[in-house]
């Protein structure tokens, strides 16, 4: 199992709600991302979040990084 971990700053309740809505509206991860699981941990007091995306192989993780690397 491999994991891609990303930390976000200036995270608002609205931003988290928007992320949750996008995830729920889609049938799965974006094209090119073969994720098996996603966990988001939010620290409201510091307005930060950590997203942990799990993959079965290092190659899947690297391809996802190429796809997700430029997203904001």
- One DSSP character per residue, 28-48 reads SSPTT---SEEEEEEETTTTE
Q: Looking at residues 51-55, what average pLDDT do you find?
A: 93
pLDDT at 48 over 50: yes
**47-60 average pLDDT score:** 94
Sign of the dihedral defined by the CA atoms of residues 63, 25, 27, 57, in that order = positive
What percentage of the chain has pLDDT greater than the value 90? 51
The pTM score is: 0.77
What's the CA gap between 36 and 4, in Å, rounded?
11
């Amino acid at each position: 199992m491999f994991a891609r971990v990303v930390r976000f700053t200036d995270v608002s309740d609205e931003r988290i709600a928007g992320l949750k809505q996008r995830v729920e509206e889609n049938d799965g991860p974006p094209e090119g991302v073969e994720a098996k699981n996603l966990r988001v941990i939010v620290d409201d007091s510091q307005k930060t979040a950590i997203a942990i995306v799990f993959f079965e192989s290092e190659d899947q993780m690297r391809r996802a990084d190429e796809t997700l690397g430029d997203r904001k």
